[in-house]
Amino acid sequence: MTMPLSIVILAAGKGTRMHSDLPKVLHDLAGKSLVQHVLDSARALNPRSIQMVVGFGADKIKEKLQGQELDFVYQDQQLGTGHAVMQAIPKLKDDEQVLVLYGDVPLLQSSTLLDLVSQSQGKVGILTATVSQPNGLGRIIRDDQNNICAIVEDKDATEAQRAIKEINTGLMCIPGEALKRWLPKLQANNTQGEYYLTDIVAMADTEQMNIVSTPCIAEEAGGVNDKVQLAFAERYFQLRQATELMRAGLGLKDPNRFDLRGTLSHGRDVEIDINTILVGKVILGDGVRIGPNCLLRDCSLGAGTVVHTNSIVTESTVAENCHIGPFARLRPGNTLAAGAHVGNYVELKNTQVGTGSKANHLSYLGDSDIGAGVNIGAGTITCNYDGINKSRTTIEDDVFIGSNASLVAPVTLGAGSTVAAGSVITHDVEKKQLALGRSKQINKNGWQRPAKKKDR
Ligand code: UD1
Ligand code: CA
C-alpha cells in the first residue's frame, strides 16, 4: 500500500540573477512557465494536495496560475528552504508522504518523481545526482556503512566534504508526521543564517529512520538561476522531446534545429526540415512535409499537405493534399479544403478556400469565402477594410480572376464568372459573366519617343 501524497513546491525566491522584473518561475521554457512544468509533473502523480510557497512576485504567480487546483502559502521573508516548507505545515497530514519540489527545476519528469516517491515510502528519500562540478550544491554525507547520515551545504562544508561529487538535487520526499516534528526544530546557525531543509536528514539519522537516495540524471535536476541556464534547459528539453517524437516515427532533418512549444500530434511519414517552430496545438496528418524555416501555430494540416520554405500558418485548418508557400502567410481563421494551393507571397486571413482552388502568387485574401475550382491570379487583392468596417468577399465555384484585380468588399462573384486582369470590382458579378473593370486601352499610331538633345 502506498501512502497518500502531498506536494509542496518552493517558489518564493527572487531570482536575482535573471535580471528581470518577471518572477523567475514565470520565465518561459518551451511555451510554458518554469513553474507550470513543475506543476504538470506534480499533477501526474495524483497528489492529495499541492501547496505552492510564494513570496517574491506572489501576485503575478497567482494570477498566472489562476484556475488551477492548488493552494498558495506566503513566505514573507526568504529565510531558507526549511523555513519555506514550514509555511506549508498547517495543511500537511501525518499519514502522508510529502514531496518537496522546486519551482525553478523544470526538467524533472514525473517518472523520476514517481521513482523517488515509491522508494521513499515511510522513509526520507533524497533525489541525488553525481556531478563533476558540485560547487554550490549540498553534498551527500555517508557513514562507514555507506548509509546517508547528513547533507552539508557547500558553504558549510569542510575541504574533504567539498570533494564529494554526490549531491542533493534539493528534491526530497518525507513522511508527513516526521516532517511536521522536525521543521520547528531547525536552527539557522550556519554560514548563511538560513533554515535549511537539508538539516532534517541528520535528524532522521539520529532517529535511525531509513534515508534512501534515488539517483537521477544531473541535467534533469538542473535548476534555472540565470538566462544561460534557462537557454540550456530549453535545449535539453527540446532535444528530449524531439527524441521521443522521432522514436514515435516523426522525421526531423535535425533535432537540434527543431522547436516544439506546445503539443504535436503527427501521423506516419511526417517530415520536418530545419528551423521549424511549432507553437500551441499542432496536428499533422500522414505524409505531411514541412520545409525549412516555417512557423506553425495552433493549426491542423491534413494528410499529404506540403508547407514549403519560409511559410507561417496560424490558427488555421488545412485539409489534405494542400500546398502552402514558399513565403505564404496564413493569419488566423482560415479553412483550406482538399488540394487548395496558396503560393508565394500570398496572405490569407479569415478566409475559406474551396476544394482545388488556387492562389499561387502575390495576393491578399481576407474575410473571403472562396468556392471550389477557383483560380486567383497574381496580385489579386480583397479590399476588405474601408478604414472602419471589415466586409466579406464571396467568390463562388469555378470563378477565374485575372491578375492584379482589386475586389472591393462587400462583393460577390457568381459561379463560373471571370474577372479581367487589372479590374477594380465594386459591383456583384452574376454567374458566368465577364467583368471588366478597367479603362480601355488606347494605341496611338506614329508615336515618337522623346529623344535626347544632341550636345552642341
Ligand atoms: C538547495 C539545497 C542544496 C541543493 C540545492 C540544489 C538547502 C538548504 N539546500 O540549495 O542542498 O544542492 O538546493 O539546487 O535546501 N526557496 C524559497 N524560500 C526560501 C529559500 C528558497 O521558496 O526561503 C526556493 C527557491 O525559490 C528555489 C528553491 O527554494 O526554488 C531552492 O532555493 P535555493 O536558494 O536556490 O537553494 P540552494 O541554497 O541553492
Ligand atoms: Ca540556488
pLDDT by position in tens, the chain (length 456): 799 999 999 999 889 999 999 999 999 999 999 999 999 999 999 999 999 999 999 999 999 999 999 999 999 999 999 999 999 999 999 999 999 999 999 999 999 999 999 999 999 999 999 999 999 999 999 999 999 999 999 999 999 999 999 999 999 999 999 999 999 999 999 999 999 999 999 999 999 999 999 999 999 999 999 999 999 999 999 999 999 999 999 999 999 999 999 999 999 999 999 999 999 999 999 999 999 999 999 999 999 999 999 999 999 999 999 999 999 999 999 999 999 999 999 999 999 999 999 999 999 999 999 999 999 999 999 999 999 999 999 999 999 999 999 999 999 999 999 999 999 999 999 999 999 999 999 999 999 999 998 876
Q: Which residue, among 192, 197, 131, 190, has the nearest Cα to 163 in the 3D structure?
A: 131
User: Does ligand 1 come within 6 angstroms of the Cβ of 419?
Assistant: no
Cell of 366: 481576407
User: Does ligand 1 come within 6 angstroms of the Cβ of 223?
Assistant: yes
SS3 content of the chain, % helix, strand, coil (to 5): 20, 35, 45
User: Does ligand 1 come within 6 angstroms of the Cβ of 201?
Assistant: no
User: Does ligand 1 come within 6 angstroms of the Cβ of 87?
Assistant: no
Q: Does residue 401 sit in helix, strand or coil?
A: strand
Among 74, 81, 140, 201, say which to mutate for ligand 1: greatest number of ligand atoms within 8 Å of CB. Answer: 81
User: How many whole angstroms from 168 Cα to the centroid of ligand 2?
Assistant: 12
Report whether 24 contacts 15 (CB < 8 A): yes
Q: For atom 25 of ligand 1, which residue has the closest CA?
A: 13
Q: For atom 11 of ligand 1, which residue has the closest CA?
A: 138
User: How many whole angstroms from 170 Cα to the centroid of ligand 1?
Assistant: 7
User: Does ligand 1 come within 6 angstroms of the Cβ of 61?
Assistant: no
Its pTM surpasses 0.95: no
Q: Which residue, among 378, 379, 327, 382, has the nearest Cα to 352 in the 3D structure?
A: 382
